[in-house]
């Protein structure tokens, strides 16, 4: 696995060196479709779908993503910010991942967030999870450190690193970082 993570990191570095960031962004923006693959670890549900096709978000796909990323504790569904989906797609493209995002936490209802914040100092009382603007993930076959580095390089929002809990937090709030 260490060999694979080094290979992925080197591949990412070569891609970044070969194409200036504006060129990568332009290529991403001009793609005919944007796809995402998810595996919700709490519900066992899987999704593999195009959520953006020929310049427009696909409402049916967004609804399926909203459902999969719901608060699994109470089944409350909320709108997931499309910008978060775009950030995840950019991460996926940059890493060339062959596996889906494993979802630890997507949307959190205020009640769930309050419960978690009471139990842990690591949960923000005004978490962006409650606004559908944050997700906690990992990708099989991709080193957590490489996932974190990619999130940081894309500068799409906050990046939290939780190696002891085996996940990276990504959000579309202001650019900031914490953990490890």
CATH code of the domain covering residue 33: 3.30.1380.10
**Structural domain span for residue 88:** 2-178
> What 3-state class would DSSP assign to 88?
helix
List the structure tokens of 145.
């450190």
Strand partners, 136: 105, 169
For residue 49, pLDDT over 70 is answered with yes
Q: Rounded mean pLDDT of the chain?
A: 88
Separation between Cα atoms, residue 10 and residue 13, nearest integer Å: 5
> What 3-state class would DSSP assign to 99?
coil
> What 3-state class would DSSP assign to 59?
helix
CB proximity list for 2: less than 8 A, separation 6 or greater = 143
Contact call for residues 38 and 47 (beta carbons, < 8 A): yes
For residue 36, pLDDT over 60 is answered with yes
Predicted confidence band of residue 26 (pLDDT cuts 50, 70, 90): low
CB proximity list for 139: less than 8 A, separation 6 or greater = 95, 97, 99, 100, 101, 102, 147
Q: Note the pLDDT of residue 16.
A: 47
Q: Note the pLDDT of residue 133.
A: 98
Contact call for residues 47 and 37 (beta carbons, < 8 A): yes
> What 3-state class would DSSP assign to 78?
coil
Q: Note the pLDDT of residue 31.
A: 81
Looking at residues 113-117, what average pLDDT do you find?
A: 89
Separation between Cα atoms, residue 110 and residue 10, nearest integer Å: 40
> What 3-state class would DSSP assign to 80?
coil
Separation between Cα atoms, residue 150 and residue 161, nearest integer Å: 12
Phi-psi category of residue 128: left, alpha or beta, with phi > 0 → left and psi -120 to 50 → alpha = alpha
For residue 66, pLDDT over 60 is answered with yes
Looking at residues 26-40, what average pLDDT do you find?
A: 85
CB proximity list for 112: less than 8 A, separation 6 or greater = 71, 73, 74, 76
Q: Note the pLDDT of residue 12.
A: 45
**73 against 28, higher pLDDT:** 73
User: The pTM is what?
Assistant: 0.84
For residue 61, pLDDT over 60 is answered with yes
For residue 48, pLDDT over 50 is answered with yes
* Number of folded domains that form the chain: 1
């Amino acid at each position: 696995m260490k060999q694979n993570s080094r290979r992925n990191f080197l591949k990412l570095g070569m891609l970044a060196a070969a194409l200036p960031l504006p060129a990568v962004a332009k290529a991403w923006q001009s793609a005919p479709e944007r796809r995402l693959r998810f595996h919700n670890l709490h519900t066992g549900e899987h999704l593999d779908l195009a959520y953006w096709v020929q310049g427009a978000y696909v409402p049916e796909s967004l609804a399926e993503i909203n459902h999969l990323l719901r608060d699994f504790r109470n089944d409350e569904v909320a709108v997931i910010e499309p910008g978060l989906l775009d950030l995840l797609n950019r991460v996926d493209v940059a890493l060339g991942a062959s596996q889906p995002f494993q979802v630890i936490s997507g949307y959190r209802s205020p009640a769930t967030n309050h419960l978690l914040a009471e139990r842990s100092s690591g949960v923000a009382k005004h978490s962006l999870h409650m606004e559908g603007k944050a997700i906690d993930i990992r990708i099989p076959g991709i080193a957590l450190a490489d996932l974190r580095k990619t999130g940081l390089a894309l500068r799409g929002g906050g990046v939290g690193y939780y190696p002891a809990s085996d996940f990276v937090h990504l959000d579309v709030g202001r650019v900031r970082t914490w953990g490890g």
